[in-house]
Structure 1
Amino acid sequence: MPPNSKISDEHLSINVTDTDIPTPNRGGSLSWNNVTYSIDLKTKDDNGKPKSRTLLSDVSGEAKRGELVAIMGSSGAGKTTLLNCLSGRLGTGHLSGSVTLDGRPRNRKTWKKLVAFVEQDDQMYSNITVRETINYAARLRLSSSRYAKAEKASLTDDVIKSLRLSKAKDTYIGDGLTRGVSGGERKRTAIAQELVGNPEILFLDEPTSGLDSNSAYAVLENVKAEAIRTGRIVILTIHQPSNEILSLLSKVVLLAGGSTVFFGPVEDALTHFASLGYTCPARKNPADFFLDLLTIDEETHEEDTARVKKLQEAYRQLDQSNVPVTHPSEPKISMTVSLDALPGDSPEPAAGWSNNWFTEFLILFERAWLDVLRSKPVVIASFVRTAVLVILIGFAFWQLDKDQRGIQNRAGILFLWPINQVFVTIQPIVATFPLERVIMLRERSAGSYRVSSFYISKVLSQAIPAVFYSMLACVPLYWMIGLQHSAWKFFAWLLINALETTAAVALGFMVSSGVETVQMAMAVAPMIAVVFLLFGGNIINNGSLGWWFKWLHYVSPIGYAYRSFMQLEFRGLSLSCQPDEPCTPTGELVLQQQDLNGLSVWACAGILVALSTWWFLTGYVLLRKTSKPKMKVL
């Protein structure tokens, strides 16, 4: 941010003219001309070709530095579609026209470094503070070769001060379980983490949605001040702004049915509509007046449609005449802008990554690990769950006897425990990417990091606590149950537990990468776990399986853990017999009867490693496919 930039009054309602903002050689304005966008429908015409629907038709306009340009219109008018077209966030459909930055076409490779996009859903990590959220964005987006870590921290503090977040900087973002910042502070934090990357252009989708009037005004007042201070272009969509918010807007783009009905200052819009016979009542909010003009109601469809077409045609003629509309001079403000510090004067950003892979990984792992450690309800619940399982299972199977009844009891606990490990581990992990996909796509669209660094950081941040809780439970259980007192068998028990838990983590991430919603993840995960349970080697004897089912046994981590545990416990175990009961005197006979010989403990360990690797890699491929940012640049 320019160190010598200032605004005379941070609470001032700001309006500026074009002459107020110095225009650098590059990035002075964003222009769009005759932008048309259509999508193919599933239905087909008589010739068998897909029918199409036009969402935008010949839309033109311009946004200059320091301006707040608002796209307005009724629902379905094309507001968000136009915003996505200008920001380059469209991945499908047919797009034509031109969008230029200071008269030059956009460069697909560097465009994402020049723009920032604040979505309507301002999802962030709930257990990270405001300052940490902004600082992580700075560390990920700003080049390490140009900015030292201390400089990124200083930029973070500058943005916090500019958006008046100083009082909330050490407060968690919060969610339904964790108390956090207010709605206005949350929205300003979402904007701040985009501004800290020093973009040329800031796009905002419904930034006032869900906020009260005071918070909404405060958010846009801060954005306006920041736009003037840095000479940044700001384009936003907004539905029904208040009079106070309208006073902050430099220009409005009024859309109806995907076409422009007016582009220019609010005062000029009122003058233009009045010349057509539509005068805004004295006490009516102009924004409400605009929406009334542009909305097509079902009950008055023909009348409203005729009015909208009249407005579209009137603006088309006005636009073609190229006659400037005169409007009253607007008040200026006292400010100083350093041309050397303007983002538009900076060199063309590099098309590559801001950090090397390892730096990305360290930053992402630090953030993910903090989020895990600070999730107090989850941490407490995990410890309580572990303690309850140890107490219930440990005392239910306390010091098992080495007799014939002990065979069933041992087989029962040695099958129950790997089942528990899979179910307990996989359930929370499958929700990871569906919950964080919005964050990931937003950060990936900004070119913040590679998929691989993000994926591995998430895997490690979830695998470490999963294995930790597994070890915390299986150490006391081994001695409470009374399994064989052998050092190598005890450590082999720990190893197989860790490997099976890791396999469950890998399976969870594979499912999480391949589904879009939490509901879908929660439906798929138990189904897979039940299949692995069924073919785990205890319920159905593996030797009796047909070839069409046997392959399921080969991919069951429960089966390999169960086989390993049974071999560790029953090999070398002597069992007592009563005179009046069938007798299986040795553990080796038990293994033979249940068809659990063959693969050794170490072979099972190797297969668990192979399954984990396979599922981790599959998860990465799926995540890479589903997290590719949409980008269509004219």
Structure 2
Amino acid sequence: MDVVNVDVERHAVAEAHLKNTTIRHIAWKGVTVTVKDRETKLPKEILENVEGIVEAGEICALMGPSGCGKTTLLNVLASRPTGAQNVEGEVLVNGSKPSRSAFREMSRFVEQEDALIGSLTVRETLNFASRLASTSSLPKKERVARIDGLLDSFGLREQASALIGTPVRKGISGGQKRRVGVASQLITSPKILFLDEPTSGLDSAASFEVVNYLKGVAKRNHLIVVVSIHQPSTAVFNLFDKLLLLSAGKTHYFGRVSDVGRHYESIGRELPLHVNPAEFLLELVNIDFSQNRNSASDQLDELHKAWTASPRAGDLMAAVDEVARNGDRTVTLERAEKKPSIPSVILTLLHRSFIKSYRDVFVYGIRFAMYIGLAIMMGTVWLRLEATQESIIPLINGIFFGSAFMSFMAVAYCPAYLEDYLQFVKEKHNGLYGPTELVISNFLIGLPYLFLISLIFSAISYWLSNFQPTALAFFTWVFWLFLDLLAAEGLVVFMTSLFPSFVISLALVAFANGLWMSVDGFMVQPGILNVFYKYVFHYWDYQKYVFENMMINEFAERTYSCASVGDGCQCMWQTELADQCLIAGQGVLDQYGYAPGHMRKDIGIMMGIIVGYRVAGWIVLKLKK
């Protein structure tokens, strides 16, 4: 009995936070969306004068054939970018149009393919979602109780400690992921929830499971739920309170699901017995596969006209107009909870990234393995080079290889950052945090790992290759390699933010690194480098400063013996030490135009480049809609 009481108490605490607002309904009036036709380049309406109203506690389905405008309407209702040329109409909450920030505070959106971090457990996913939202201000005990209540409500208690799943580690099922996606939004205390195809890819049993949970949560907590859905089963279809049926961007029905049969019966299109009503309705308004398109289009227009002339359409227009006339002047959220501060969000993101960094091998594990393999290969190819003139060119090649290819292999970070980017897009749209928190936390989490990579790589390759054998020279090498990796990772963040596609970002980062290799001073010495590449790319090429200072670190204070020829010697580089049968390392540097004494300036430039890439990534994230 005590256990039951504890579960009931958890359930009550988990849902109490959803009942402290005055939101009663959401309505949309005259929603019309116009885009530019790809073929004719003329304006084309993909939504035309769509109206509807959903009360608190109701779950509404947006249904229609592919391309009918479901997702576009859902984005309009959720105040998200549509990419349209023109959007008209009003979306009203309690009869008033809230500000964008207020609407984001009260609503959440669950994508068709919801971005979840695969290396987190189900409980951790809900916990971090809670910490990023206003619920972070609650005592830890109450926040845990809310999470436990949602786990129980969504049937996820047994999976609480299971991973979401990564490409190399199997996680929970597709239906369970959908429920986690919804639960992670509910934990942030929304009052309006939008879902894009939440049953896509699920079998009928899993689909029923997801929608049934949504219906229960909506009823218990007076939550408004709007769902786009493609082809639900009869059982799933009957779970919805209201239906908006679209075809070619026009309304063909809006009202209670229980009344849809009577409406079509009144216009001579009676729903047949023992047939899934959703399938019948979709076939009725779908003309994509009609042999006679003109005739089918005419029939579709007749169905639309029948709807607009029906009493239900008139009642809907009157209800929406009444809501607009008598709406509240403001939409209030009676919250005792505050949104977390920027430092708090950064710490939460750091914690989440830290867990991901050691669980997901694609973040740093594979990179550690690659860099260790590269270090062993480099150390054994450039093995114990003596301080002779024959080793000078191999040492220069080794410096270039060690710095340039370490930078190049930062492309392996693309998939890990892409997952963070997709998570950020979802959480930004839901008003949880912005690009500042992402960029700072992403930079900070990489610092210890990149330094450790630099240290391990250098500890293996530096001494095997027999570069300048002093502790100062070794740690100088480690320091420049660390700056090299920081800049390279900043380039990955910038390029992937600009083009969030794995293939495109990978290609662009690889191309950029190839360019930096070509103009860093190794392939073509700075003194004879093409003027265009020298002044356009060379001076802000981070590999240039790494290669130059590694060269100075190796050659500035080291001497190399010349080759013995009979009783004398022959030196490949003529320096002031030639009479001693030695080559001063500065003679090698002179060929490149390198001289010691400006390391501080070069460090400052490198810091500027590192910060510059992060700022450029921040600007991209800030400007993107």
Instruction: Name the TM-score, length of structure 2 as normaliser.
Output: 0.88
Q: Does 1:216 align with 2:200?
A: no
More displaced, 75-84 or 147-156? 147-156
State which of 90, 101, 125 in structure 1 corresponds to 2:117. 125
Q: CA deviation at 1:553?
A: 2.0
Q: Kindly indicate whether the alpha-carbon contact (under 8 Å) linking 1:357 and 1:450 is maintained by their aligned counterparts in 2.
A: no
Q: Deviations over 1:37-95 (max 9, x none)?
A: 22244678xxxxx7311122122221112212111111121211221222211354323
Q: Kindly indicate whether the alpha-carbon contact (under 8 Å) linking 2:484 and 2:542 is maintained by their aligned counterparts in 1.
A: yes
Q: Does 1:347 align with 2:333?
A: yes
Segments of 5+ residues of structure 1 without an aligned counterpart are 8-22, 45-49, 325-343, 629-634
Distance of 1:529 and 1:214 partners within structure 2: 50
**1:34 alignment counterpart:** 30
Q: CA deviation at 1:322?
A: 4.1
Q: Kindly indicate whether the alpha-carbon contact (under 8 Å) linking 1:184 and 1:219 is maintained by their aligned counterparts in 2.
A: yes
Q: CA deviation at 1:5?
A: 11
**2:388 alignment counterpart:** 403
Q: CA deviation at 1:204?
A: 1.1
Distance of 2:91 and 2:484 partners within structure 1: 53
Matches within 5 A, 1:284-303: 284-296=275-287, 297-303=289-295
Distance of 2:373 and 2:53 partners within structure 1: 64
Q: CA deviation at 1:586?
A: 1.7
Q: Does 1:108 align with 2:100?
A: yes
Q: Deviations over 1:468-495 (max 9, x none)?
A: 1121110232222222232322222222
Distance of 1:169 and 1:253 partners within structure 2: 35
Distance of 1:42 and 1:272 partners within structure 2: 36
- Relative to structure 1, the CA distance from residue 429 to residue 228 in structure 2 (aligned partners, 3 Å threshold; closer, same or farther) is same
SS at match of 2:310: helix
SS at match of 1:203: strand
Q: Kindly indicate whether the alpha-carbon contact (under 8 Å) linking 1:459 and 1:509 is maintained by their aligned counterparts in 2.
A: no
Q: Kindly indicate whether the alpha-carbon contact (under 8 Å) linking 1:434 and 1:515 is maintained by their aligned counterparts in 2.
A: no
- Relative to structure 1, the CA distance from residue 566 to residue 323 in structure 2 (aligned partners, 3 Å threshold; closer, same or farther) is closer
State which of 540, 549, 568 in structure 2 corresponds to 1:564. 549
**1:254 alignment counterpart:** 245
Segments of 5+ residues of structure 2 without an aligned counterpart are 1-6, 13-18, 317-329, 574-582
More displaced, 611-620 or 70-79? 611-620
**1:455 alignment counterpart:** 439
What letter is aligned with 2:588? V
**1:385 alignment counterpart:** 370
Q: CA deviation at 1:353?
A: 7.6
**1:330 alignment counterpart:** none
Distance of 2:176 and 2:185 partners within structure 1: 14
What letter is aligned with 2:27? S
Instruction: Name the TM-score, length of structure 1 as normaliser.
Output: 0.87
Identity of aligned residues (%): 28
Q: Does 1:313 align with 2:313?
A: no
Distance of 1:229 and 1:242 partners within structure 2: 24
**2:500 alignment counterpart:** 516
Distance of 1:496 and 1:359 partners within structure 2: 32
Q: CA deviation at 1:408?
A: 1.1
Q: Deviations over 1:320-377 (max 9, x none)?
A: 77469xxxxxxxxxxxxxxxxxxx9973569x98111100100011111111110146
More displaced, 518-527 or 148-157? 148-157
Distance of 1:37 and 1:595 partners within structure 2: 62
What letter is aligned with 1:78? G
What letter is aligned with 1:603? K
Q: Kindly indicate whether the alpha-carbon contact (under 8 Å) linking 1:130 and 1:173 is maintained by their aligned counterparts in 2.
A: yes
- Relative to structure 1, the CA distance from residue 508 to residue 321 in structure 2 (aligned partners, 3 Å threshold; closer, same or farther) is closer
Q: Does 1:466 align with 2:420?
A: no
- Relative to structure 1, the CA distance from residue 37 to residue 379 in structure 2 (aligned partners, 3 Å threshold; closer, same or farther) is closer
State which of 608, 613, 616 in structure 2 corresponds to 1:615. 613
State which of 362, 387, 391 in structure 1 corresponds to 2:347. 362
Q: Deviations over 1:436-482 (max 9, x none)?
A: 43321211111101210111112222343223112111023222222
What letter is aligned with 1:118? V
Q: Kindly indicate whether the alpha-carbon contact (under 8 Å) linking 1:429 and 1:512 is maintained by their aligned counterparts in 2.
A: no
Distance of 2:428 and 2:363 partners within structure 1: 28
- Relative to structure 1, the CA distance from residue 389 to residue 401 in structure 2 (aligned partners, 3 Å threshold; closer, same or farther) is same
Q: Does 1:504 align with 2:488?
A: yes
What letter is aligned with 2:609? L
Q: Deviations over 1:258-313 (max 9, x none)?
A: 11111122332112212222222212110111011101134131222122111111
Q: CA deviation at 1:131?
A: 0.9
Q: Deviations over 1:91-127 (max 9, x none)?
A: 5432333322222333323011111111111121010
Q: Kindly indicate whether the alpha-carbon contact (under 8 Å) linking 1:38 and 1:53 is maintained by their aligned counterparts in 2.
A: yes
**1:340 alignment counterpart:** none
**1:181 alignment counterpart:** 172
Q: Does 1:439 align with 2:423?
A: yes
SS at match of 2:564: coil
What letter is aligned with 1:606? G
Q: Deviations over 1:556-613 (max 9, x none)?
A: 2222122112212212322222233444322121111232226633433332222212
> Aligned-residue CA RMSD in angstroms?
2.7
Q: Kindly indicate whether the alpha-carbon contact (under 8 Å) linking 2:255 and 2:312 is maintained by their aligned counterparts in 1.
A: no
Q: Does 1:483 align with 2:467?
A: yes
Q: CA deviation at 1:35?
A: 2.1
Task: Name the structure with the higher helix share.
Answer: 2
Q: Does 1:69 align with 2:60?
A: yes
Distance of 2:498 and 2:160 partners within structure 1: 36
What letter is aligned with 2:348? I
Q: Kindly indicate whether the alpha-carbon contact (under 8 Å) linking 1:5 and 1:229 is maintained by their aligned counterparts in 2.
A: no
SS at match of 1:241: coil
SS at match of 1:290: helix
State which of 165, 184, 189 in structure 2 corresponds to 1:193. 184
- Relative to structure 1, the CA distance from residue 37 to residue 574 in structure 2 (aligned partners, 3 Å threshold; closer, same or farther) is closer
Q: Aligned pairs, how many?
A: 585
Q: Kindly indicate whether the alpha-carbon contact (under 8 Å) linking 1:353 and 1:447 is maintained by their aligned counterparts in 2.
A: no
